[in-house]
Amino acid sequence: MVISHLGAQFFKVTFGDTTLAFDPISKTSKLKGAKFGADIAFISVNHPDMNGAEQVALGDRQPVVIDGPGEYEIQGIFATGYQSVSHYGGQERINTIYILKFEGMKLCFLGALGSGELPQAVKEASDDIDILFVPIGGDGVLDAAEAHKLAVKLESKLVIPMHYRTSMGDIGDKDALTTFLKEEGSEKLKPLDKLTLKKKDLDGKGNEVVLLGS
């Protein structure tokens, strides 16, 4: 599996011949995005900064778009979307948390989550998470301190922060990343261009922060 961060909450995840996109940045957003072909696009919030499914459609690769709660099985990927709340953009919005299982791993993508108190259904499904994607930037989503507390509770093997200011565009508190890394005791962490891993690479890890594309 290869994971790349393309700014804001936009991630590209590839394994084998399959490509997933999470919260692709729309062409109508003020943020800088990227364009490529994906097989499945997961949208957590209906906002231009996160609902750009058109940006991950290219040539013959037109993604299946998943943009809300429910259970899904596509191309060997088992995914469940759980309804939660975001206040991104200054108003209350539906946010979908996605938990996926594939390649023997379990991913949890929190989207633009605005509360540190998870829905009960998510709590029940969040055991043994391998990779947690957590927003940290405040401004309608979790701030750095809230994100840290939630990451500790969920006890995932790897934690990937998102929704903070990067070279791809400004989003969230400008000090969010510094604060989050300090909370995690990872101030000296260096960013990776991409994360490449297999299930065995997660052995022995616990709440280890991975910084991507910053």
In this prediction, residues 187-203 reach a mean pLDDT of 93
Closest CA to 51 of 73, 71, 28: 28
Percent of the chain past pLDDT 70, that is, above it, reads 100
Q: Which residues pair with 65 in a beta bridge?
A: 41
Long-range contacts of the stretch 60-64 (C-beta < 8 A, 24+): 61/19, 61/37, 62/37, 63/21, 63/37, 63/38, 63/39, 64/39, 64/40
Tens digits of residue pLDDT in 145-172: 999 999 999 999 999 999 998 777 789 8
CB atoms under 10 Å from CB of 90, counted, come to 8
- pTM of the shown model: 0.96
Spell out the domains of the chain, with CATH numbers in brackets. 2-209 (3.60.15.10)
Of the pLDDT bands very low, low, confident and very high (cuts 50, 70, 90), residue 8 is very high
Percent of the chain past pLDDT 90, that is, above it, reads 90
pLDDT: is 33 or 24 the higher one?
A: 24
Tens digits of residue pLDDT in 50-69: 999 999 999 999 999 999 99
Tens digits of residue pLDDT in 100-128: 999 999 999 999 999 999 999 999 999 99
